């Protein structure tokens, strides 16, 4: 990831945010935040009293009213600055993406020839040719060829990636560049609907929807504001009965200090910054709801291949069964893989070349290729002479052979279990009714996965590994990796079933995937993380896309989601706790001249009623920009029990929210007294 994305602030972002702070003073914009809209209404009232003191009979209070107005104005500007700063980072990333989305030409296949057309004229279903050094004109799927693709404009990574037809790594993104070779791409999106178009709108925040927790908190803050407003409205008659005349600016100052202005001013910035923190990990979230849901995840569904293991299951041995020979097995394994574009199929032919194996390639001429399907879990060839060759999962091949009237060698299961016990994957090879043997596919668990799963357990998250491998292989990998549970020989339907089962128990479920067969499960999960290298169907179904195509990154997304929830909770606690100190500052100041007994509440020993009110109001304004770095960076999540986490946050942000204002208001009062 480039350093520009990692930078929290830049001079350009700060400058634009400062300008936007004034633009956001528009009442039509402020009304979206009820708390700050009340502050703006109060600011306008005090401004009118400052400009027209005779009309409001406030000539002797010009200096006090002007000071209150300026403090309230800066309170609004600071709150707007926090939101504008968070939005500015997204806009800066969007500008970078827009540069990669310029007008480009495309070599569109028309009939038997090629026509050069602008990329904006391409439509879904069009087929284009992209050669070395050319830009890919739109999102699509490679239907022919293999190429090295530079995706740095999107991912920030300079190292090119290999894209090829077939399998789950055939998806390409418009605005990326082919570095070597030549590919034929079928366009999968219309103009304005490409992945980069969606990324731009998302990182700009144009389509950011408030999350359920954010809406609930907004409702709470609005309710508190309404309650305090009613209290302030009823206060003058009560004070008048006690012989105290309360001025309007004093009442407005009290209202602004008592309503939750701190969290009200930072709430939008927290939500925007939460999505931005996910973006820093090269993950694009389609909504803030997805990021927030990640913080509440109870169960995580993980594919074995490419997530827990490296995913490069390569043919490493041919193991014959029954009376078959290794050379016979190798020959039929190669025939079954001639048109197989999956990594496993290509590895069989690669292994044959490396070991000098011989096979009759002419048998595959004019043969019908049977592609791998998740339901059958087999692939193969139907030869022109009528013979049928299949390779696939052992149990699936056994059923196919039995249905063909063949017999199963006695040592097939024993040798298959031996491969599985070593963590490998056995693929059976059969021709018509005879099983010739097994292909030993070898995979390796990624280092550090056990420690990461232990970290998830400390977060209270259950991990379930899904794999198409047989139960013995799955159990071996699960034990080595340290997952809580596993599902062997899983189909797309099995993944959806386990997700629904967990959701029916009231749990939130996260899942990663990259293939078309993962799309239904990604759509069903509360948090679906699709790989950028995966298929268009997977990316459309998910609510997050990992630009680096690292399935294990879901763990970081969960941590960020928990950090977002903690940040919002911590600042809300701090904001409400602030009111205690402000209460002890302003209430005594309002009444102690007429009611000397109220002086006992002046525990901070503030100098005068005017300095007490201005000090509390000034602290209320200053605390917002001081908390912006915390809102932007977020509270760091540390795995621990819920009770310990609650106690820690109550101590830091609850008790801290009480103590800090006492110290801050007293320090400001000592300075204000010199002026007042």
Catalytic residue among 20, 126, 139, 303: 303
Asked, for residue 197, whether it belongs to a domain, the answer is no
pLDDT average, residue stretch 334-347: 85
397 and 453 share one domain: no
Asked whether residue 83 is marked as a ligand-binding residue, the answer is: no
Half-sphere exposure of 119 (CA within 13 A, CB side): 26
Q: Give me the pLDDT at residue 531, please.
A: 80
Give tens-digit pLDDT for 354-368: 888 888 888 888 889
436 and 482 share one domain: no
pLDDT band at residue 157 under the 50/70/90 scheme: low
Count of positions (residues) in the chain: 676
Asked whether residue 262 is marked as a ligand-binding residue, the answer is: no
214 and 80 share one domain: yes
324 and 435 share one domain: yes
Task: Single out the residue in 519, 547, 575 at which a domain terminates.
Answer: 547
pLDDT band at residue 37 under the 50/70/90 scheme: very high
How far apart CA 369 and CA 391 sit, in angstroms, is 12
How far is residue 87 CA from its own chain's centroid? 17
In this predicted structure, which of 193-197, 431-435, 496-500, 536-540 has the lowest mean pLDDT?
A: 193-197
495 and 408 share one domain: no
How far apart CA 489 and CA 473 sit, in angstroms, is 10
Give tens-digit pLDDT for 547-561: 777 767 777 888 888
352 and 403 share one domain: yes
CATH label of the domain that carries residue 453: 3.40.50.1000
Asked whether residue 360 is marked as a ligand-binding residue, the answer is: no
Give tens-digit pLDDT for 471-530: 877 888 888 888 999 988 888 788 889 999 999 998 889 988 777 778 888 888 988 888
Asked, for residue 98, whether it belongs to a domain, the answer is no
The residue ranking higher by pLDDT, 375 or 616, is 616
Asked, for residue 552, whether it belongs to a domain, the answer is no
Q: Identify the residue whose tokens are 């991912």.
A: 155
- For the chain, give me the number of helices (H) and strands (E)? 24, 20
Domain that holds residue 185: 123-190
The residue ranking higher by pLDDT, 436 or 111, is 436
Asked whether residue 292 is marked as a ligand-binding residue, the answer is: no
Q: Give me the pLDDT at residue 271, please.
A: 74
Mean pLDDT rounded to a whole number for the chain = 83
Say whether pLDDT at 6 is over 50.
no
Say whether pLDDT at 621 is over 80.
yes
Give tens-digit pLDDT for 194-207: 666 766 665 555 44
Q: Give me the pLDDT at residue 25, please.
A: 93
CATH label of the domain that carries residue 172: 2.70.150.10
* Strand ranges, E, within 400-540: 425-431, 434-442, 462-466, 485-487, 509-513, 527-531
519 and 562 share one domain: no
CATH label of the domain that carries residue 404: 3.40.1110.10
438 and 322 share one domain: yes
In this predicted structure, which of 221-230, 255-264, 305-314, 577-586 has the lowest mean pLDDT?
A: 305-314
pLDDT average, residue stretch 247-266: 89
Asked, for residue 101, whether it belongs to a domain, the answer is no
* Best CA proximity match to 264, nearest among 45, 17, 578, 560: 578
* Strand ranges, E, within 321-445: 368-370, 378-382, 388-393, 425-431, 434-442
8 A C-beta contact, residue 614 and residue 71 = yes
Asked whether residue 197 is marked as a ligand-binding residue, the answer is: no
659 and 575 share one domain: yes
Asked whether residue 378 is marked as a ligand-binding residue, the answer is: yes
Task: Single out the residue in 416, 442, 468 at which a domain terminates.
Answer: 442
Asked, for residue 3, whether it belongs to a domain, the answer is no
Q: Give me the pLDDT at residue 9, please.
A: 62
Dihedral angle sign, alpha carbons of residues 547, 509, 202, 19: negative
332 and 391 share one domain: yes
Q: Give me the pLDDT at residue 1, please.
A: 41
Asked, for residue 112, whether it belongs to a domain, the answer is no
How far apart CA 282 and CA 532 sit, in angstroms, is 10
Buried b (16+ CB within 10 A) or exposed e, 499-518: beebbeeebbbbbbbbbbbb
How far apart CA 297 and CA 288 sit, in angstroms, is 15
- Compute, in degrees rounded to 10, the torsion defined by CA atoms 467, 472, 473, 477: 90
Say whether pLDDT at 175 is over 60.
yes
89 and 21 share one domain: yes
Ranges of H-type helices in 387-448: 394-403, 412-421
Task: Single out the residue in 497, 518, 547 at which a domain terminates.
Answer: 547
Asked, for residue 113, whether it belongs to a domain, the answer is no
Asked, for residue 377, whether it belongs to a domain, the answer is yes
pLDDT band at residue 584 under the 50/70/90 scheme: confident
Q: Please enumerate in sequence order all residues whose Cβ is within 8 A of that of 334, keeping only pairs 6 or more positions apart, or say none.
A: 348, 349, 352, 357, 359, 361
Say whether pLDDT at 155 is over 70.
no
In this predicted structure, which of 28-42, 154-168, 377-391, 635-649 has the lowest mean pLDDT?
A: 154-168
- The total domain count for the chain is 4
Asked whether residue 372 is marked as a ligand-binding residue, the answer is: yes
Annotation marks residue 526 as catalytic: no
Say whether pLDDT at 287 is over 70.
no
136 and 207 share one domain: no
Asked whether residue 518 is marked as a ligand-binding residue, the answer is: yes
Q: Which of 26-40, 460-474, 640-654 has the highest mean pLDDT?
A: 26-40
């Amino acid at each position: 990831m480039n350093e520009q994305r990692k930078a929290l602030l830049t001079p350009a972002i700060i400058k634009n945010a400062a300008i936007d702070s004034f633009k956001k003073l528009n009442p039509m914009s402020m009304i979206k935040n009820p708390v700050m809209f009340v502050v703006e209404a109060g600011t306008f009232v005090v401004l009118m009293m400052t400009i027209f003191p005779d009309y409001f009979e406030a000539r002797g209070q010009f200096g006090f009213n002007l000071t209150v107005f300026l403090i309230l104005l800066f309170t609004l500007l600071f709150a707007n600055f926090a939101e504008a700063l968070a939005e500015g980072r997204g806009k800066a990333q969007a500008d970078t993406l827009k540069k990669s989305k310029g007008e480009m030409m495309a070599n569109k296949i028309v009939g038997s020839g090629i026509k050069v057309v602008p990329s904006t004229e391409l439509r879904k279903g069009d087929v284009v040719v992209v050669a070395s050094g050319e830009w890919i004109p739109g999102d699509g799927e490679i239907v022919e060829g293999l190429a090295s693709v530079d995706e740095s404009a999107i991912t920030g990574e300079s190292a090119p990636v290999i894209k090829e037809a077939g399998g789950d790594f055939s998806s390409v993104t418009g605005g990326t560049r082919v570095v070597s070779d030549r590919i034929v791409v079928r366009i999968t999106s219309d103009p304005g609907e490409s992945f980069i178009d969606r990324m731009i709108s998302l990182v700009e925040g144009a389509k950011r929807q408030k999350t359920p927790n954010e809406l609930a908190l907004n409702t709470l803050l609005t309710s508190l504001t309404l309650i305090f407003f009613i209290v302030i409205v009823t206060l003058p008659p009560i004070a008048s009965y006690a012989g105290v005349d309360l001025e309007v600016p004093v009442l407005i100052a009290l209202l602004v200090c008592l309503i939750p202005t701190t969290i009200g001013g930072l709430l939008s910035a927290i939500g925007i910054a939460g999505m931005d923190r996910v973006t820093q990990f090269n993950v694009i979230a389609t909504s803030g709801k997805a990021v927030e849901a990640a913080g509440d995840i109870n169960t995580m569904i993980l594919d074995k291949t490419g997530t827990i293991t490296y995913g490069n299951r390569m043919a490493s041995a041919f193991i014959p069964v029954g009376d078959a020979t290794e050379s016979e097995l190798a020959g039929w394994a190669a025939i079954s893989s001639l048109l197989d574009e999956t990594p496993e199929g290509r590895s069989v032919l690669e292994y044959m070349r490396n070991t000098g194996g011989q096979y009759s390639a002419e048998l595959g001429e004019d043969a019908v290729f049977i592609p791998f399907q998740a339901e059958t879990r087999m692939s193969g060839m139907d030869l022109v002479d009528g013979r049928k060759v299949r390779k696939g999962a052992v149990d699936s091949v056994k059923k196919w052979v039995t249905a063909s009237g063949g017999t199963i060698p006695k040592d097939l299961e024993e040798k298959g279990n031996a491969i599985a016990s070593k963590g490998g994957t056995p693929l059976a090879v059969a021709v018509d009714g005879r099983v010739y043997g097994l292909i030993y596919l070898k995979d390796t668990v990624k280092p550090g996965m056990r420690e990461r799963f232990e970290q998830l357990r400390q977060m209270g998250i259950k991990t379930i590994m899904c794999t198409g491998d047989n139960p013995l292989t799955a159990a071996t990998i699960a034990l080595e990796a340290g997952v809580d549970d596993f599902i062997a020989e899983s189909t797309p339907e099995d993944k959806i079933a386990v997700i629904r089962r967990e959701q029916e128990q009231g749990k939130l479920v996260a899942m990663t995937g990259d293939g078309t067969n993962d799309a239904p499960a990604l759509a069903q999960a509360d948090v679906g993380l699709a790989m950028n290298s995966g298929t268009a169907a997977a990316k459309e179904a998910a609510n997050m896309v990992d630009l680096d195509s690292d399935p294990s990154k879901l763990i970081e997304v969960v941590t960020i989601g928990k950090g977002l929830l903690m940040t919002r909770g911590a600042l809300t606690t701090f904001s409400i706790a602030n009111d205690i100190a402000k209460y002890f500052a302003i209430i005594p100041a309002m009444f102690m001249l007429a009611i000397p007994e109220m002086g006992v509440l002046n525990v901070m020993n503030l100098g005068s009623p005017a300095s007490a009110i201005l000090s509390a109001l000034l602290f209320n304004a200053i605390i917002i920009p001081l908390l912006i770095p915390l809102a932007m960076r977020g509270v760091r999540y540390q795995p621990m029990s819920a009770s310990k986490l609650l106690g820690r946050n109550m101590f830091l942000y609850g008790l801290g929210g009480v103590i800090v204002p006492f110290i801050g208001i007293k320090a400001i009062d000592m300075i204000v007294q010199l002026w007042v």
